[in-house]
Amino acid sequence: MRLALRAGLVLVGVLTTLSSLPASAAVRTKPAAVLRHEVTLDTDASRALNAEAQGHGVSVPILLAQWQRVAICEVDGNWSMTGPVYSGIGFSNATWHQFGGARFAPLAGEATREQQILIGMRVTHGWVPDQRGCSPTGW
């Protein structure tokens, strides 16, 4: 009985603590429609990436590895980098929008690797930038 009483007091203490937290501390979840949209975009990106890889005669893992080297060269591998001018693997934010990246995310750094690669392939007309030597002037 004493254990049950203590458990009840602990629970009341937890509930009191939770109810006293500011609204900003609440866990936020995305609406189901947003989640379905994100899954659709990820599926679309995966299919398009498969098509890009096949069109260039390489496998998706090879294409991913090539672009990973670009990411390492450009932003030390930080695909999620965001900034006022550049984001993702070094896209200017204007270029990201110009080539359709906003369909996936407002900034490249908020998009998946696959989505960034797709936009990168559009920017470079299907060419993977030289990742063997980092050029100080970019692509």
Domain ranges of the chain: 33-123
Cα 1 to Cα 44: distance, rounded to the nearest angstrom? 58
Choice between 6 and 76, residue whose per-residue pLDDT is larger: 76
DSSP 35: H
Cα 92 to Cα 107: distance, rounded to the nearest angstrom? 9
Please give the helix or strand (H or E) that residue 92 lies within, else none: strand 91-92
pTM, whole model, 2 decimals?
0.65
pLDDT digits (tens, 9 = 90+) for 4-40: 444 443 334 433 444 454 554 444 554 554 444 444 4
Cα 130 to Cα 85: distance, rounded to the nearest angstrom? 23
pLDDT band at 53 (very low <50, low <70, confident <90, very high): confident
Q: Which CATH number fits domain 33-123: 3.40.190.10, 3.40.50.10470, 3.40.50.300, 1.10.530.10?
A: 1.10.530.10
Residue pair 59/50 in contact by the 8 Å Cβ criterion:
no
Percentage, residues of the chain above pLDDT 90:
40
pLDDT digits (tens, 9 = 90+) for 56-72: 888 999 999 999 988 98
